[in-house]
Amino acid sequence: MNQRQTASFLKRKLHEIGVSPSSRHGQNFLIDLNLVELLARTAAIGPDDVVLEVGTGTGSLTCMFADQAAAVVTVEIDANLHALASEVLVGRDNVVMLHQDALKNKNQIHANVLTAVADALAAGTDRKFKLAANLPYSIATPLISNLLLEATAPISMTVTIQKELADRIVAKPRTKDYSALSVWVQNTCRAEIVRIMPPTVFWPRPKVDSAIIHINVDEEKRSALRDLKFFHEFVRAMFFHRRKFLRSELLSAFKKTLDKPQVDSIMEEMQISMKARAEELEPHQFVELCHAVLDRIPENFKIL
């Protein structure tokens, strides 16, 4: 397994099949073996776990997961890498390989992926769902964000992502990185950056630093949200124009449903300044604000 993770092996193997890493698909292979092991160790894969891996690559990390897990569902969009990994993973009955995009679109996980995970979970008792992967940069935000919307969300996500994205996930209010993603993840999970990684630990080298991030889904926090999907959309709407006052964002998002006196009443009730911006609110305040809005709008309202 370790040989397949080295830069020399990867270069030789890809040269043999006449392909080069695709920047379009975000193909940056993690070649520092200590970090590969750190990723796998942090994911803490056990015999009852169903692992979703997005970005099979050459199948090296997949092998490591398969040695420990009940089942692995691994997704690879690149035909050449899918074929290469198929040779590496031959005979591993607990691995399901999908050759496709993991996303149907930026707001939805592909049904084939969710079905494969659901089938693997149903195949045994007490099975748990985990995401573990060296994620392509371009898919990281929609994958993490949308998986948290699913009724059966992973209990944990341990992934390599762009450092900038990791900083946004764990960011605190009143900082430049604090965003809708920060609020969404922090109100459904507990997240920590495990390790910052320079470009030199990947081949080809990306132009930016990366990070291993570990996210534990907090079911108590998730269950406290009255409408998971609405909250997700609500937070995105509140950060749509980052520098606008929160009052203006509320009036814009709930145009023709909440008038100015109603919005002002909500903000006064919550003791939020009329000149406050979304970036100033603590994560838990967004939950309270969202629920206050839900109490005053029609059922099944769609945020503009």
**What confidence score (pLDDT) does residue 75 get?**
98
d(CA 49, CA 69): 5
pLDDT digits (tens, 9 = 90+) for 34-71: 999 999 999 999 999 999 999 999 999 999 999 999 99
Which residue numbers in the chain have pLDDT < 70? 1-4, 304
Q: Residue 250 in contact with residue 263, Cβ under 8 Å? A: yes
The residues spanned by each domain of the chain are 3-222, 228-294
Domain 3-222: state its class.
alpha beta
Say how many CA atoms lie within 13 Å of 17 toward its Cβ: 17
d(CA 249, CA 159): 33
Domain 228-294: state its class.
mainly alpha
pLDDT digits (tens, 9 = 90+) for 171-191: 999 999 999 999 999 999 999
- Strand locations in the chain (E): 29-30, 49-54, 71-76, 95-99, 103-105, 108-109, 128-134, 156-162, 189-197, 202-203, 210-217
How far from each other are the two terminal CA atoms of the chain, in whole angstroms?
A: 50
pLDDT digits (tens, 9 = 90+) for 20-37: 887 777 789 999 989 999
**What confidence score (pLDDT) does residue 1 get?**
45
d(CA 65, CA 51): 7
